[in-house]
Each structure stands twice: as C-alpha cells, then as structure tokens.
Chains A and B, each alone.
Chain A
Amino acid sequence: MANKKILIVDDEPGVREAVIKVLAREGYSVIQAADGSSGVSLALRERPALVILDVLMQPMSGWEACRVIRQMKEIAGIPVLMLTGKQSVKDKITAMQVGATDFLPKPFRNQDLKLRVKRLMGQTVQSF
C-alpha cells in the first residue's frame, strides 16, 4: 500500500490546521510539527512520503530543516515542499541550495497545494 503520510511543519497552528483540513479531505494522513527540529525528528520516526516546511520558524528555520533532512541518509529521499514568504529569485536559489523539491508562496490556493502535493507524493529525490 502506498505511503500517504504527509508531515506539515509550521509554527502557526492555524496554518497547520488549515493544511491538515485541505489534505485530509484528499485521503492523506497528515502529521504535524511546530518547528524545524521537531519536524526533522518526526520525519525520522514516521518516514512520511512528503514534508511540507514553513520557512520562518524558531529555533530551526525551514531552510535549515530541509538541509538537515537532505544530510540524513534515512530521510534524504523524501520530497520537501517549502511554504515560502515570496516567490523571489533569491528564494528560489535558496530553495535549490538547501535541496527543496518545490516551493509554494503564501498565501496559497487550496487547489494549488493539492496539485503540488499530488505531484510530489511518491516522488523520490536523489540523495544530495
């Protein structure tokens, strides 16, 4: 059976709740964490098929969490969707540098989130 588990990491509980509502309706099982470090720990334990990461979090930012995920061989292959503040060239470069698979600017449309998640699920990233 295909892994349909998604991990959402965002320090804003309202955003996590909204994402869970949207994705749960699509049949995904969504787990959550409130910061980068607990997100990485949860990813190690639960091995989700996709990690959705907010960028601005304390104490570990989403960029840093993504970089750590790519360095850990057990979870390095999980696709990571970054929820970034804006879609600037600088953000795109940073996303590529830390090994993010895709990114979605906030605020996003539910349809956009669902399409990207669908595309990324099951996709395995080459180890960096």
Chain B
Amino acid sequence: MGRSVPGKDCLRGSSLREEQWKFRSLWFGIFVILLLFATVAYPPNTLPVRSMNIVLLAAAVWHLAIFFTPLAKKLGSTYDVVAIFVDIVFITWIVRLTGGFQSELVVLYFVELLLAAFFSERVQLLVTLVFSALGLCSSILTLHPPQNVQNSTGGVTVDLGHWKPEDLSALGVRTGGLISVYLIGYVGQWLRGRKPEEKTIPVTQTQATPEPLAEKPVVLKGREEPSDSESLSIISHELRSPLTILRAYTDLLMDPNRQESTGEIVSKIDEEVGELSGMVENLGAILDERKFSSTTAFEPLNLASLMQSLVEKHRSLSDQHQFVFECARREIPIHGDRPKLVRAFSNILGNAIKYSPSGGGIRVHVDLRPGEALEFFSASSTSVLPSHPFAVVKISDSGIGMSPRAISLAFEKFKRLDPERTQGIPGSGLGLYLARKIIEQHQGIIHLDSLEGRGTTVTVALPTRLEGGLVGQ
C-alpha cells in the first residue's frame, strides 16, 4: 500500500501528486469493497472469523485516518511500520478467502515490497511474472503430484492424474490469490508515487500553509491558462529576479572596496539588461494579445526571404552556433502580419540558440507542401484548409531537448519546464506561447518534436490561402 513516508516526502520535494491522491482514494475504495464482500461472504459465525473482521475494520479505519488526515505527517516512519502491518493483515485475509495458507502469496508480497522499493517497474513486473509462474507450477504439482506407474510393457510412465472440476476451481482460486497479491504490489507502487510523474501541484495548494496571491507558483497544473491577476503576479516575480541581480551589481559597482573588476560587473549588468529587454518585448506582445484580431494586418509576404533574413540576423547575434538555411524555392508566398511572424520565428530561433550548446547546429528548412502531406495535421484543431498548399518551416536544433511532459506544456503561458535542466538559461515561459498564438492567428499549425539530449524540431505550417478568401499565390 502507499508507503510513502511523509517526512521523506517533504524532503523529496513535498509535491503531493494529484494522481497519488487519486490512487490513494481508488485503493481505499477497493479495500473497503473487498472488506464488505468478505463480511458478506463469510458471516461472523466463529470466533476467528469475527476477530479477523474486527481487525480488518480497524485496518480500514486506520487507512482512512492516515490517507485523508494530517496524521500521516505526524507519524513519520511509524506510518511505514503500521502500513506494513496492515498489509500483512490484508494478505492473511486473502489467504483466508482463497481457502488456506499459501506461503508463496506471503513471500511474493514481500518480494513486491522489495522490488517496489529498490527497482524499476519493469524489473518488478518481470520478477513477479516469473514468481507467479513458479507459484502456479508449484500449485499444480501440489494438487496433482506426478506418479510413476508401471505400464504393460514393464516400462515406467508419468501419470499426471485426472483433473476434476474441484481441482480446477482450487487452481482458479489460487491464481486469483496470486493476481491479487500482484495487484497489491502494483497499486502500492503507484501509491508510492513512482508511476505518475506529471502534473505536480505544489504542497501549498493542498496543505495548510497559506500562499499569498503574489507568490503563486509559476508552473500551473494541467493546461490551465493563468488568470489576469495570476499573470500579473507571475510577471511581477519574473521581472524581480533580473532587477535583484541588477541592483546587487550596481551596488557592487558603487562600492569603492570591491574586488571584482568594473568590466566583470558591467558584463553582468549588460546580461541582465538583455534579459529584461527580452521579457519586456514579450510582455508587450502579451498585452497586445487581446487586440490580435483587430490589429493583425495581413499583407502578401515571401516567407522564403523573411526566414532567410531572420536566419542571417540570428547568425549575427550568435557566432557560437552553426546555422544552416535550406530553401529550394526563391519565393514562398503567404499572407501574414510581418511583425508578428518575425516575433514568432524569432522566439523559436531564440530558443534554439538558448537550448543548444556552443558549436551546436541549427537548421532552418523552408518548403511548400500540400496540406494532405502534413503528418501532424490530424492532431491539430485549427481550421486550416487541408487541400491548400502550406508553407512549412522546420527549425531544428541539437540542444538539450525536452521531456515528454515539457513537450505537452511547451506552448502554454509561463511554462518554464524542466527546471533542473534549464537552470541558468534565461527565459520567461512566454516565447513559445506567443509563437503559438501568432501562428494560430495565421490559421497555421505549430508542432514540436523533441528528444531529451538529442534536440528539438519546431515545425510551423502556414496556409498559403487563408479562410475568408485571401490567396497568397
């Protein structure tokens, strides 16, 4: 069962996962249903059965208390000891249901505990399957021990006996017992929080510690869009970090006894001013977001030349990266809002630079493709016309890549993901969000593929014909 030690949870990060709570609730529900079933199926007509039911009831209450009250926090490691005791009682109960003591069930349970604690899910599954198979073979041999029988020719044959319906029933019950024990271990592993890695919510949302509005967490759960007040508080926080650094270095600069050189301090200040400027630019675009529909000014554009000029601009900004621009056509006509598209592609190119190591390659490929050929088209919910050609821009880098979770939230507002891996890389979590908004304004599709440690490819498809009749070619 859920043997996550509360004290240790606090140290690990204290993020009570949503799924963990769901599974705790699910597991508790299953436990209660089984308990009710046992009570009905085995009327308390004997002292041992009555005692067992009392113990089980106490166990259920105990689980309820430690799962859904703050008691678990106070118990610390005692929680583990008691939870194991409760599990043993539960196993005993299964043994009773399955008609007799089966040592393999108890041994398997402890194997599950060890596997869940020290090994991965796959190892646990493999060993459990092998163990279950051995247990079943053992059961079959116990039910029908092979006997050597003299045959008519004087030789010896092995007689496996004749199966009776009650034998099959006993085997079925025993198999059920093994499956039950496996499920206990498996659900237990989920409860330990190993399985669900996504959608973390901060403890402050589930526990009593009050969290002022201004200190709402940056990472929002699921695909929620932050409210206006949350956005403002996040923006305020985001701006405060570079301001803090700027103030620290300007104070140092004014200190006559400083040990750092002026050049070193000015370089830091310059770095932070650059960071602040990028934030302000993106924030300006966010403020304009609501005016998108009324202010978007579409005009005929040549995407090939626009992308080429953007690549040249970024090449001049970063001589640490190898840019490759590929476009087989001299002209790729679309209708679009030039400043907004420049903002969107600059954000994507900026990310490619930020998340690629020095010397890493950044490839920009531009082409014209029929709508039907867009393999990711079906996954999109935009209202583009699939029969029309699309201008497709692929921007690939050889950077640090993204985790599956980060990919799923990459286009959300204020999502700064994989904090451990992106530590030290400046960013506000607005770049890709803005890019998505702009591309959607152009009835286009934006798609992201990434492998951790291998790099990221962002694909943008823009229709050459806009809904409403504008033709770009």
B33 in the interface (beta carbon within 8 A): no
Determine the chain A residues whose CB is within 8 A of the CB of B260 once the complex forms.
21
A94 in the interface (beta carbon within 8 A): yes
Determine the chain B residues whose CB is within 8 A of the CB of A19 once the complex forms.
248
Say how far A15's CB is from chain B's closest CB, in angstroms: 5
Q: How many residues of A contact B (CB 8 A)?
A: 45
Determine the chain B residues whose CB is within 8 A of the CB of A110 once the complex forms.
247-248, 251-252, 255
- Chain B 380-421: CB-based contact to A (< 8 A → 1; otherwise 0): 000000000000000000000000000000000000000110
Determine the chain A residues whose CB is within 8 A of the CB of B241 once the complex forms.
12, 14-15, 106
A58 to B14, Cβ gap below 8 A? no
Determine the chain B residues whose CB is within 8 A of the CB of A93 once the complex forms.
210
- Chain A 91-121: CB-based contact to B (< 8 A → 1; otherwise 0): 1011001100000001111110000000000
A25 to B259, Cβ gap below 8 A? yes
A13 to B424, Cβ gap below 8 A? yes
B419 to A90, Cβ gap below 8 A? no
A111 to B13, Cβ gap below 8 A? no
From the candidates B215, B245, B423, B424, name the one contacting A56 in the complex (CB within 8 A): B215
B214 to A18, Cβ gap below 8 A? no
B129 in the interface (beta carbon within 8 A): no
A91 to B212, Cβ gap below 8 A? yes
| Interface members, chain A 51-72 (any B CB < 8 Å) | 55-56, 58-61, 63-64, 67-68, 71
Query: Nearest residue in A to B264 (C-beta to C-beta)?
Result: A21
Query: Nearest residue in B to A112 (C-beta to C-beta)?
Result: B251
B210 to A106, Cβ gap below 8 A? no
A64 to B209, Cβ gap below 8 A? yes
Query: Nearest residue in A to B275 (C-beta to C-beta)?
Result: A14
- Chain B 219-250: CB-based contact to A (< 8 A → 1; otherwise 0): 10000000000000100110011111111110
Determine the chain A residues whose CB is within 8 A of the CB of B203 once the complex forms.
60-61, 64
Query: Nearest residue in B to A65 (C-beta to C-beta)?
Result: B14
| Interface members, chain A 12-31 (any B CB < 8 Å) | 12-15, 17-19, 21-22, 25
A34 in the interface (beta carbon within 8 A): yes
A106 to B240, Cβ gap below 8 A? yes
B248 to A59, Cβ gap below 8 A? no
Say how far A85's CB is from chain B's closest CB, in angstroms: 5
Known: A13-B423, A21-B252, A68-B14. A61 touches B202 (CB 8 A): yes
In the bound assembly, the distance between CA atoms of A34 and B424 in angstroms comes to 10
In the bound assembly, the distance between CA atoms of A106 and B249 in angstroms comes to 14
From the candidates B12, B209, B212, name the one contacting A88 in the complex (CB within 8 A): B212
B13 to A59, Cβ gap below 8 A? yes
Known: A11-B423, A13-B424, A56-B217. A61 touches B248 (CB 8 A): no
- Chain A 35-65: CB-based contact to B (< 8 A → 1; otherwise 0): 1110011000000000000011011110110
Say how far B248's CB is from chain A's closest CB, in angstroms: 4
Determine the chain A residues whose CB is within 8 A of the CB of B200 once the complex forms.
58-59
From the candidates A12, A17, A108, name the one contacting B247 in the complex (CB within 8 A): A108
A86 in the interface (beta carbon within 8 A): yes
Query: Nearest residue in B to A68 (C-beta to C-beta)?
Result: B10
B242 to A14, Cβ gap below 8 A? yes
B14 to A111, Cβ gap below 8 A? no
Say how far A44's CB is from chain B's closest CB, in angstroms: 8
Determine the chain A residues whose CB is within 8 A of the CB of B218 once the complex forms.
56, 58
In the bound assembly, the distance between CA atoms of A83 and B341 in angstroms comes to 39
- Chain B 97-140: CB-based contact to A (< 8 A → 1; otherwise 0): 00000000000000000000000000000000000000000000
Determine the chain B residues whose CB is within 8 A of the CB of A21 once the complex forms.
248, 252, 260
| Interface members, chain A 66-88 (any B CB < 8 Å) | 67-68, 71, 83-86, 88
From the candidates A25, A68, A85, A107, name the one contacting B214 in the complex (CB within 8 A): A85
B252 to A59, Cβ gap below 8 A? no
Query: Nearest residue in A to B260 (C-beta to C-beta)?
Result: A21
A106 to B15, Cβ gap below 8 A? no
Max chain B C-beta neighbours (<10 A), residue from A36, A41, A64, A90: A64
A97 to B237, Cβ gap below 8 A? no
Query: Nearest residue in B to A109 (C-beta to C-beta)?
Result: B251
Enumerate the 10 nearest inter-chain pairs by beta-carbon distance, A residue then B residue, closest first.
A18-B248, A110-B251, A59-B13, A107-B244, A107-B247, A14-B245, A107-B243, A90-B212, A37-B13, A12-B241
Beyond contacts A35-B419, A59-B200: 10 other A-B pairs, Cβ-Cβ < 8 A, are A13-B423, A15-B244, A15-B248, A21-B260, A37-B14, A58-B219, A90-B213, A106-B241, A108-B244, A110-B247
- 25 A-B contacts, Cβ less than 8 Å apart? A13-B424, A14-B242, A15-B241, A15-B244, A19-B248, A21-B260, A25-B258, A34-B420, A35-B13, A58-B200, A59-B14, A63-B210, A63-B215, A68-B10, A94-B211, A94-B212, A97-B210, A106-B241, A107-B240, A107-B248, A108-B244, A109-B247, A109-B251, A110-B252, A111-B251
